[in-house]
């Protein structure tokens, strides 16, 4: 029987994961099926139990079930443990369900694909919610010169900076005091992990935090540049949306499940052209 994989979420219709994984399967010659399923808000555990008891090999988990998946896993990878959230479940040979979080690997792979390094660089992370929590430890492990977390509610950024202080050079600053709080040097990399782009809102950011070589990376993706990306471009810096992160996290899930690393660059190009042509 073909190995079965599934992505669950609520909503789920927007998910590009089935398309991405079928492109990976085609590219690597792996025989598998990958479907999507809408799960009721209180139905994650029942849906996951059913899927794995019927022989399912792996599951991706999107909003709002990443914490349910964290609780569901029999064992957790170190990254998932630290993130407190799971986006990938894998059935092991002995029937245990292992929880992983591949979001940060996807983000880092995409930043590197764009020719940027994190090591010895000044990094600014905007936001202090779940999306940010999962990327802090893997980024700190790469040894940035400094990582500053700026958030509208400073207290949340302070808590994260305190919690992750053991992994590297990290500190917090209130979003509205970025220029005073962040020091006089510009940032090499600015990552938007707030939900403003999803809400179609913009952030008030001071011009002085960028130089022309800075990359501003929005963790969400869209056919049109987000307000954050437009701001970066207007400052003469580079801007990226999170489409490559989406494909990169899927590639890491695929590697965990199948032991083969797909080439994600071509898949990003296919999705980008579908998006621009309004096909998806
Ligand atoms: P997620 O789990 O997707 O990260 P979240 O936990 O709701 O979602 O976090 C959303 C993040 O976006 C928070 O950092 C939030 O700032 P607050 O902690 O102050 O709420 C940030 N955010 C949302 N709307 C914002 C806005 N209009 N301006 C600035 N930050 C905003």
Q: Please give the structure tokens belonging to residue 190.
A: 């600015």
Predicted TM-score of the model (pTM): 0.94
Asked whether the beta carbons of 63 and 24 are under 8 A apart, the reply is no
Q: Beta partners for 98?
A: 75, 90
Q: For residue 201, what pLDDT is reported?
A: 85
* Residue pointed to by tokens 């949306």: 241
What's the pLDDT tens digit per position in 93-112? 999 999 999 999 999 999 99
pLDDT digits (tens, 9 = 90+) for 161-216: 999 999 999 999 999 888 665 556 799 999 999 999 888 888 989 988 999 999 99
Among the listed residues 242, 195, 184, the one whose alpha carbon sits nearest the alpha carbon of residue 216: 242
CA-to-CA distance for 47 and 266, rounded, in angstroms? 33
Closest to 72 (Cα-Cα) out of 94, 43, 93: 43
Q: Is 129 in the pocket of ligand 1 (CB under 6 A)?
A: yes
User: Among 62, 85, 129, which is best to mutate for testing ligand 1, by the most ligand atoms less than 8 A from CB?
Assistant: 129
Residue 86 corresponds to which tokens in the numbers above?
């799971």
- pLDDT at position 183 is 57
Query: In the chain, what are the domains?
Result: 3-101+244-276 (3.40.50.10860), 104-241 (3.40.50.720)
At residue 58, the pLDDT reads 98
Both tokens assigned to 252: 């890491």
Q: What does the pLDDT read at residue 181? A: 53
* 225 and 247 Cβ atoms separated by less than 8 Å: no
Strand extents, DSSP E, 110-157: 122-126, 146-151
Q: Nearest residue CA, atom 9 of ligand 1?
A: 129
The pLDDT of residue 175 = 93
pLDDT lower than 70: segments of the chain? 179-184, 279-280
Q: In which order are the strands placed within the sheet that holds 146-151?
A: 170-174, 146-151, 122-126, 189-192, 215-218, 238-240
Query: 88-91 and 58-61: which strand pairing?
Result: antiparallel
> Can you tell me the distance from the alpha carbon of 54 to that of 102, in angstroms, rounded to the nearest whole number?
25
Q: Whose CA is nearest to atom 4 of ligand 1?
A: 129
Structural Rg of the chain based on CA atoms: 19
| Ligand 1 binding pocket mutation candidate from 133, 152, 156, 206 (most atoms within 8 A of CB) | 152
Q: Looking at residue 71, what is its pLDDT?
A: 98
Nearest in space to 146 (alpha carbons), one of 176, 125, 177: 125
Q: Is the CB of 158 under 6 A from ligand 1?
A: no
State how far the Cα of 105 lies from the Cα of 124, in Å rounded to an integer. 18
Going from the Cα of 157 to the center of ligand 1, the distance in angstroms, rounded, reads 11
């Amino acid at each position: 029987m073909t190995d079965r994989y599934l992505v669950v979420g609520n909503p789920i219709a927007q998910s590009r994961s089935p398309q991405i994984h079928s492109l990976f399967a085609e590219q690597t010659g792996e025989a598998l099926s990958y479907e999507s399923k809408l799960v009721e808000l209180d139905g994650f555990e029942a849906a996951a139990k059913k899927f794995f008891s019927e022989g399912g090999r792996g599951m991706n988990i999107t909003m709002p079930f990443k914490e349910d998946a964290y609780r569901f896993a029999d064992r957790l990878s170190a990254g998932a443990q630290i993130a407190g959230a799971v986006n990938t479940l894998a059935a092991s040979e002995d029937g245990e369900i292992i929880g992983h979080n591949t979001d940060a690997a996807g983000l880092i792979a995409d930043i590197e694909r764009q020719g940027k390094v994190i090591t010895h660089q000044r990094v600014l992370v905007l936001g202090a919610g779940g999306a940010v929590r999962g990327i802090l430890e893997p980024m700190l492990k790469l040894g940035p010169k400094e990582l500053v977390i700026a958030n509208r509610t400073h207290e949340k950024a302070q808590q994260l900076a305190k919690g992750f202080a053991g992994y590297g050079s990290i500190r917090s600053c209130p979003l509205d005091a970025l220029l005073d709080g962040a020091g006089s040097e510009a940032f090499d990399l600015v990552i938007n992990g707030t939900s403003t782009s999803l809400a179609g809102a913009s952030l008030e950011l001071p011009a002085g935090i960028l130089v022309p070589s800075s990359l501003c990376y929005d963790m969400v993706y869209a056919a049109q540049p987000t307000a954050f990306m437009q701001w970066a471009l207007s400052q003469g810096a580079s801007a990226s949306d999170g489409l490559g992160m989406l494909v990169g996290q899927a590639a890491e899930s695929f590697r965990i499940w199948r032991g083969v690393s797909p080439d994600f660059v071509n898949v990003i190009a296919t999705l980008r052209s579908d998006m621009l042509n309004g096909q998806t």
